[in-house]
Structure 1
Amino acid sequence: MLTLQVGFWLCVGLILYSYLIYPMMLAVAVRLQNPQTSAPETCEIPVESWPRISLIIAAYCEENVILQRLHNALMLDYPADRIEILIGVDGDLDATGEIVASIPDDRIRLLQFPVRRGKASVLNDCFAAATGEILLFSDANTFWDKDAAKQLVRHFTKNSVGGVCGRLILTDADGGTNCDGLYWRYENQLKEWEGQLGALLGANGAIYGIRKNLYQPIPPQTIIDDFLIGMRIHQQGSRFLYEPNAIAREETAPTISDEFKRRSRIGAGGFQSLAWLSSLLLPHYGLVSWAFWSHKVLRWICPAAMLVALVSNWFLAVTPPYQALLLLQSGFYLAALCGAMSILPGPLGKLSRVLWMFVNMNAALASGFWKWLSQSQSATWKRTDRSETETESKPEFVASVK
Structure 2
Amino acid sequence: MSLMLDYYIFYGFIFETLVFAISLMLIPYFLYPKLVDLIYKYQPRDISVNFKPEQWPSVDIVFAAFNEESVIREKIESILALNYPKDLLKIRIGSDCSTDSTDLIIEEFQKREKIIDFVKMENRSGKSVIINTLIQRGKSKIIVGTDANIFFHPDALKEMILPLANDNEIHLVGGNLVYRGNNKIFLNSIAKNEKSYINWENNLKNKEGVIWGSSMGVEGGCYAIRRESFKEIPFGTLMEDFFLTMTVLKSNKKVVIALKAICTEDVSNESNMEFKRKIRISQGNWQNLKYFYATVLTNPFPIGLVFFCHKILRWMLPIFFSLGSIVNIIFWLLQWSQIVMISIIFQMLFLILFILYPERFLPKTLSNFLKPLSYFSWMNIALFLGLIRYLRTSENGIWQPTTRNKL
- Which shows bigger deviation, 52-61 or 4-13? 4-13
Equivalent in 29, 44, 52 of residue 19 of structure 1: 29
Match of 1:234 in 2: 249
1:171 deviation in Å?
1.7
Match of 1:64 in 2: 70
The aligned runs of 1:177-192 (5 Å cut-off) are 181=193, 182-192=196-206
1:91 aligns with 2:101: no
Partner Cα distance (1:373, 1:272) in 2? 10
Structure ID, larger Rg: 2
Partner Cα distance (2:72, 2:395) in 1? 26
Match of 1:399 in 2: none
- Which shows bigger deviation, 355-364 or 174-183? 174-183
Match of 2:321 in 1: 306
Change (3 A) 1:337 1:261: closer
SS in structure 2 of the partner of residue 86 of structure 1:
strand
Match of 2:233 in 1: 218
1:295 deviation in Å?
1.4
1:194 deviation in Å?
1.8
Change (3 A) 1:262 1:46: same
Match of 1:134 in 2: 142
Equivalent in 362, 365, 368 of residue 343 of structure 1: 362
Equivalent in 22, 33, 38 of residue 43 of structure 2: 33
The aligned amino acid for 1:256 is S
Partner Cα distance (1:277, 1:34) in 2? 30
Q: What TM-score do you get using the length of structure 2 for normalisation?
A: 0.83
Equivalent in 385, 397, 405 of residue 379 of structure 1: 397
1:17 deviation in Å?
1.5
The aligned runs of 1:1-400 (5 Å cut-off) are 10-36=20-46, 45-103=51-109, 104-157=112-165, 158-172=167-181, 174=183, 181=193, 182-197=196-211, 198-282=213-297, 284-310=299-325, 333=352, 335-337=354-356, 339-341=358-360, 343-346=362-365, 348-375=366-393, 378-387=396-405
1:264 deviation in Å?
0.6
Partner Cα distance (1:366, 1:107) in 2? 43
Partner Cα distance (1:372, 1:99) in 2? 35
1:13 deviation in Å?
2.0
SS in structure 1 of the partner of residue 132 of structure 2:
helix
Partner Cα distance (1:121, 1:139) in 2? 14
Change (3 A) 1:355 1:6: closer
SS in structure 1 of the partner of residue 114 of structure 2:
coil
1:340 deviation in Å?
5.0
- Which shows bigger deviation, 14-23 or 373-382? 373-382
Q: What TM-score do you get using the length of structure 1 for normalisation?
A: 0.84
- Which shows bigger deviation, 366-375 or 300-309? 300-309
User: Structure 2 unaligned runs (5+)?
Assistant: 1-8, 336-347
The alignment-based identity, stated in percent, is 27
CA RMSD of aligned residues (A): 3.0
**8 Å contact from structure 1 (residues 88, 126) kept in 2:** yes
**8 Å contact from structure 1 (residues 155, 161) kept in 2:** yes
**8 Å contact from structure 1 (residues 11, 308) kept in 2:** no
1:350 deviation in Å?
3.0
User: Structure 1 unaligned runs (5+)?
Assistant: 319-328, 390-402
Greater percentage in helix: 2
Structure 1 runs of 4+ aligned residues shifted over 6 Å read: 4-8, 175-179, 329-332
**8 Å contact from structure 2 (residues 175, 262) kept in 1:** yes
Change (3 A) 1:378 1:114: closer
- Which shows bigger deviation, 176-185 or 243-252? 176-185
